[in-house]
Amino acid sequence: MAWDQCYDFGECARLFLRAAADPVLSKGADFVWTAGNARWTLGLESNDEIARAFAPYTLAPVAARITQPVLIMAGELDHGIPLHQATDFQKALVNAKSVTLKVFDRASGGAEHCQTGNSTLVHATIFDWLDGTFGLDQL
């Protein structure tokens, strides 16, 4: 469970605590890695400390101040970040020059967190967006 791209870490912190309390999910490789990585990188001891550390982080208060073009990528089946956060963030970007939301589905192979099943698709999406947005073929 990686919560590094959450629009609202408070929601992700609640999901983290729910997984921590679940006897099956708390033993899963994703959760074990995420909790261990959070403890190591943040210098924390417990799952409660991790959730409290995540909770204040949100893009909600600053989304309206973002004025550059934005690409949001999300996995339809992401296990750690609810899909609605991508559309919520898209709606909150009221002053962005442009907003592109790309949701990867199961058929594309990119439906999971960070589109780990199809990194070529992700790279193509990013490079196509950069080219279309900034005209990189003109460099």
Q: pLDDT of 82-103, one tens digit each?
A: 888 888 889 989 999 999 999 9
Q: Is the pLDDT higher at 56 or at 35?
A: 35
User: How much is the pLDDT for 43?
Assistant: 93
Q: What would the mean pLDDT of 101-114 be, rounded to a whole number?
A: 88
The 3-state DSSP class for residue 70 equals strand
Q: What would the mean pLDDT of 104-112 be, rounded to a whole number?
A: 88
Q: Which residues contact 83 (CB under 8 A, 6 or more apart)?
A: 74, 75, 76, 103
Domain ranges in the chain are 9-54, 63-138
**Gap between the Cα atoms of 28 and 14, Å rounded:** 17
Q: Which candidate, 10, 31, 11, 53, places its Cα nearest to that of 45?
A: 53
